[in-house]
Amino acid sequence: MKNSKYILLALVFVLFSCKTNVFTGKKTLNFVPDSTLFPMAFSQYDEFLGSNNVVTGTADAEMITRVGQKIKTAAQRWLNAIGEEQYLEGYEWDYKLVNDDTVNAWCMPGGKIVFYTGILPICQDETGVAIVMGHEVAHALANHGAQRMSASQVQALGATGVALGTQVAGVDSGTQNLINQAYGVGSQVGGMLPFSRSHETEADKIGLYLAAMAGYNPDEGALLWERMKANSGGQSTPQILSTHPSNDSRIANLKELAPLAKAEAAKYGVTSFK
């Protein structure tokens, strides 16, 4: 009973740990403060750079920095317009190109950004880089890293609750294992994976808006993902089992978002695009 009381108190804490995402207006589960998250991210970033081949002084490396700075400026303009001028306090922006054939890019909480050289042929040009940059920066701005950490803690808390509940109920060990396994699969497929896919869709939208506000053509978003689909050979994990939306649903969504992104950019005086 004592353990059950602690779990109940923890669940109450979770319910009151929701924050409003300033970019979407939605309530989000987030009880990991930036003061905890950012130093962890910065330390991991430094370790990564120390063990990877960072490209400097090339046209591509300069392009990554240039695009990143434009996306950052667009984000600040957006935040200023909605009365969140101080939102980026604590961010330490940095943009690096790493010599690696992996088709990937990422942005850590707090604004540490890495592009792998392997993604540049798919980006094709600066506009393609801006689409990817906007998406990755959007993950950081929307606190998706903190939300995933929070969700993982809730998932673990739920697993503990299920295990204790079966013990209190006197369920035999074999049935306990089956119930615990069912919870693990159910919470992953029905909870964590949809949660992750929603973050990707959210980052696509925010990122496309940021790219448009920075002067890059948002129509490139769908074209970029058509190239990503072609690069994968058209093969992908079934969406229900994936952390990301399917290529086709992503392409369709980006096509719908492009005119909305242009309309949003027009509010900031941006009506022509690279």
- Tell me which residues are annotated as active site: 136
CA–CA distance, 67 with 69 (Å, rounded to integer) = 5
> What is the dihedral sign for C-alpha 145, 151, 155, 160?
positive
User: Could you give phi then psi for residue 32, rounded to 5 degrees?
Assistant: -110, 105
Which of left, alpha, beta for 20 (phi over 0: left; psi -120 to 50: alpha)? Answer: beta
Residues forming beta bridges with residue 28, ordered by sequence position? 19
- Give the DSSP letter of residue 74: H
3-state SS assignment for residue 234: coil
- CA 7-12-16 angle, 5° bins: 145
How many residues make up the chain in this entry? 274
Long-range contacts of 247-254 (CB under 8 A, 24+ apart): 250/200, 250/201, 250/204, 250/225, 251/222, 251/225, 251/226, 252/222, 253/201, 253/204, 253/205, 254/204, 254/208, 254/218, 254/221, 254/222, 254/225
Residues forming beta bridges with residue 97, ordered by sequence position? 55, 115
Burial of 112 (0-12, 13-18, 19+ CB in 10 A): buried
Give Rg (Cα) of the chain: 21
